[in-house]
């Protein structure tokens, strides 16, 4: 199913209803639909046809997001390019994706000047503003095709988007997501979480990632998307109150900032039906705090290859029938989604019993079509008929999925397997710790030593020996860090994930 459907469906409910809002400007469904159709005509006029790759390089912006639907209408493939990436990384993605057209904001003029000469396949540059000699201006680009016939096409193989993998562990890959993948994701979203009336969705996280694809089910219900062009926790809270926001999404690192913000407890959050969190493990201590101070938290677990909804934990599942917090479920990622089959497999790809750990593997129409131009990586990820996530976890007796680590992040110390996520949860339970990361470093005695880097809350002080003792009380001495470093900031990727590879590199440079 074309991504254009979500916009078209919302418009069919009420073309005059608010669709995309930025600041004081709101565009109706009819206006967004008209602009998307114009983008499709302009793409066709400049030679873009079904299956061609079109990149969008932009911060959160309603015009740039509307172009996604124009790309879909033309039967082309949307390639979201993260504006926070370094120039070289974006050039690598544009080359990998075979992009022939790039639509970009003027704020990235310098980046385009740097990378465009090295990308001969990139034949059309469209600047969201006036032209500058290198690129055609967006208004002129649309005007040239204003009298052309309407365009409606489907991409070959139903491929709707090419999404770059995180790139935190080497060369990124291009994930081919089909219309069916995103339709499955949207269906799971609508059946698994509360939706009463027309939703109002606040998008602070990048629309190039999770925040963007969550817009599709919102639009299918005729909802309004309120767009934030840049992160701002105070404004985020103010917009929830002002627009009576019903749904939003943030990764845990930003939720921690929300919890620390002075305006939180005086902000009216009563309109919230569903505050999604995901993209990284969340401290159960902070989650319990968020349930009391924010309200209806809702977890989602997925990855680029199986977007967003491998498992779900709706707001109601965070609490017992009497309203108390169900602490045993807070460490889970919810139950496998209705349209996804999940298994925990051993090294021979055989299912393990409930409670035993293995690799989380999935099947179903949520799973990608494969990696673009990379049949070897596709075959490896889909061995034995399962998509292998690379995450280690277990299913408990109630069928809730628990993620204990990435396979590559497991630390083997003194012959014992230590899962970094478990140690991180213990560290995060300390009041002084704002965030942390645990890795294994080479050690002559232990093979690897459990090593923690912590970032403290503002104004907090901490003795590493005290923190080690705190962790030992909770999970034992084998799993407790043998080395603790306190850093002012943890290194992060452009989407906020902690870069353990960079931490490992920095720490191995420090003589001991």
pLDDT value, residue 494? 65
Burial class (CB in 10 A: 0-12, 13-18, 19+), 68: buried
Q: Which two tokens stand for residue 387?
A: 């998509």
Q: What is the rounded distance in angstroms from the CA atom of residue 498 to the CA atom of residue 424?
A: 12
Q: What is the rounded distance in angstroms from the CA atom of residue 411 to the CA atom of residue 399?
A: 26
Q: Which two tokens stand for residue 39?
A: 């983008």
Residues 299-311 as b or e (16 or more Cβ within 10 Å = b): bbbbbbbbbbbbb
pLDDT value, residue 99? 97
Selection from 262, 295, 255, 261 nearest residue 277 by Cα: 255
Class of domain 4-14+25-178: alpha beta
pLDDT in tens, the chain (512 residues): 899 999 999 999 999 999 999 999 999 999 999 999 999 999 999 999 999 999 999 999 999 999 999 999 999 999 999 887 778 888 999 999 999 999 999 999 999 999 999 999 999 999 999 999 899 999 999 999 999 999 999 999 999 999 988 544 457 799 999 999 999 999 999 999 999 999 999 999 888 877 899 999 999 999 999 999 988 999 999 999 999 999 999 988 889 899 999 999 999 999 999 999 987 778 889 999 999 999 999 999 999 999 999 999 999 999 999 999 999 899 999 999 999 999 999 988 899 999 999 999 999 999 999 999 999 999 999 999 999 998 889 999 999 999 887 767 778 787 677 878 889 989 999 999 999 999 989 887 787 899 999 999 988 888 999 999 999 988 888 889 999 999 999 998 766 778 888 898 899 876 55
Boundaries of every domain in the chain: 4-14+25-178, 412-508
Q: What is the rounded distance in angstroms from the CA atom of residue 122 to the CA atom of residue 113?
A: 13
435 CB neighbour count, 10 Å cutoff: 23
Superfamily name and number for 412-508: ANL, C-terminal domain (3.30.300.30)
Hey, is 497 helix, strand or coil? Answer: coil
pLDDT value, residue 511? 53
Q: What is the rounded distance in angstroms from the CA atom of residue 256 to the CA atom of residue 453?
A: 17
Residue found under tokens 């050690």: 443
């Amino acid at each position: 199913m074309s991504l254009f459907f979500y916009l078209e469906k919302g418009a069919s409910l009420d073309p005059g209803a608010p669709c995309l809002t930025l600041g004081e400007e709101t565009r109706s469904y009819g206006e967004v639909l008209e602009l998307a159709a114009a983008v499709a005509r302009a793409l066709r006029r400049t030679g873009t046809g079904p299956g061609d790759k079109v990149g969008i390089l932009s911060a959160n912006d309603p015009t740039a997001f509307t172009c996604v639907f124009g790309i879909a209408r033309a039967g082309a493939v949307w390639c979201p390019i993260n504006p926070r990436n370094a120039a070289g990384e974006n050039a690598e993605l544009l080359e990998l994706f075979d992009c022939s057209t790039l639509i970009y904001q003027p704020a990235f003029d310098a980046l385009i000047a740097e990378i465009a000469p090295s990308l001969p396949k990139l034949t059309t540059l469209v600047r969201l503003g006036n032209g500058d000699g290198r690129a055609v201006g967006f208004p002129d680009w649309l005007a040239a095709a204003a009298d052309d016939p309407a365009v409606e096409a489907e991409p070959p193989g139903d491929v709707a988007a090419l999404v770059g993998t995180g790139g935190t562990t080497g060369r990124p890959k291009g994930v081919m997501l089909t219309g069916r993948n995103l339709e499955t994701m949207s269906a799971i979203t609508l059946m698994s979480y509360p939706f009463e009336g027309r939703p109002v969705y606040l998008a602070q996280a990048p629309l190039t990632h999770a925040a963007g694809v969550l817009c599709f089910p919102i639009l299918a219900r005729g909802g309004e998307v309120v767009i934030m062009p840049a992160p701002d926790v105070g404004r985020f809270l103010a917009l929830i109150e002002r627009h009576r926001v019903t749904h939003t999404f943030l990764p845990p690192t930003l939720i921690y900032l929300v919890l620390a913000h002075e305006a939180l407890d005086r902000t009216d959050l009563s309109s919230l039906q569903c505050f999604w969190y995901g993209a990284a493990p969340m401290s159960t201590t902070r989650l319990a705090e968020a349930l009391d101070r924010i309200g209806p938290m809702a977890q989602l677990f997925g990855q680029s290859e199986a977007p967003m909804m491998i498992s779900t934990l709706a707001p109601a599942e965070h609490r017992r029938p009497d309203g108390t917090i169900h602490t045993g479920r807070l460490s889970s990622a919810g139950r496998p989604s209705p349209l996804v089959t999940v298994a925990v497999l051993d090294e021979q790809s055989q299912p393990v019993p409930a409670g035993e750990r293995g690799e989380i593997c999935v099947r179903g129409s949520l799973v990608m079509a494969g990696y673009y131009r990379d049949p070897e990586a596709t075959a490896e990820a889909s061995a034995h008929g399962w998509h292998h996530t690379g995450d280690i976890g277990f299913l408990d007796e109630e069928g809730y999925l628990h993620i204990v680590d990435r396979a590559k992040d497991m630390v083997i110390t003194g012959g014992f397997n230590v899962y970094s996520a478990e140690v991180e949860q213990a560290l995060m339970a300390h009041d002084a710790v704002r965030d942390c990361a645990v890795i294994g470093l080479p050690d002559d005695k232990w093979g690897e030593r459990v090593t923690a880097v912590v970032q403290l809350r503002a104004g907090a002080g901490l003795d590493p020996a005290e923190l080690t003792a705190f962790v030992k009380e909770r999970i034992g001495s084998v799993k407790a860090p043998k080395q603790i470093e306190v850093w002012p900031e943890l290194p992060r990727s452009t989407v906020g994930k902690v870069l353990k590879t960079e931490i490992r590199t920095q720490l191995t440079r420090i003589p001991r």
